[in-house]
Amino acid sequence: MTRKGEIDGWRREIDAIDDRIVDLVLRRARCAIRIGRAKRKAGVPVRDRAREAAVLARLAERARGRLEGRDVRWVFSRIMELMRRLEEDDARNQGEREGARSPPRGATFVAPAPSRKTGDEE
């Protein structure tokens, strides 16, 4: 195999891994939205700093010796930030949809913003 062929082979593998990562992030997003809905029903805040810290520590430990803990924490902090934003967007969109079903008397109707798509709806 030529070097270009070898490089192309590795790039195809990376592309497949990237596709899988996106699929997993989408799956995580669906879970986060469901958790956010359960939290709203229970009156629990979206952000749980103790849970986030425990998850980050667990993942950094899982990668120990292969990746730097700070790098793992950085990547997953960004993922958690995205998940919180999706939960908050869903809460806003749910509120708008609920408001659209029964607007206050005399209120001007404004169509709700489309919900953020996660790519592979059920």
pLDDT digit string, tens, across residues 21-63: 999 999 999 999 999 999 999 999 989 999 999 999 999 999 9
Instruction: Spell out the domain ranges in the chain.
Output: 3-97
Phi first, then psi: give them for residue 82, nearest 5 degrees: -60, -45
How far is the C-alpha of 67 from the C-alpha of 74, rounded, in Å? Answer: 12
Q: Does residue 95 carry a pLDDT above 50?
A: yes
Tell whether pTM > 0.75. Answer: no
How far is the C-alpha of 80 from the C-alpha of 58, rounded, in Å? Answer: 14
Residue that is written with structure tokens 């798509």 in the block: 117
For residues 112 and 97, the answer to whether their CB atoms sit within 8 Å is yes
Q: Does the domain at residues 3-97 carry the CATH identifier 1.25.50.10?
A: no
Phi first, then psi: give them for residue 62, nearest 5 degrees: -60, -35
Lowest mean pLDDT: which of 55-64, 72-81, 107-116? 107-116
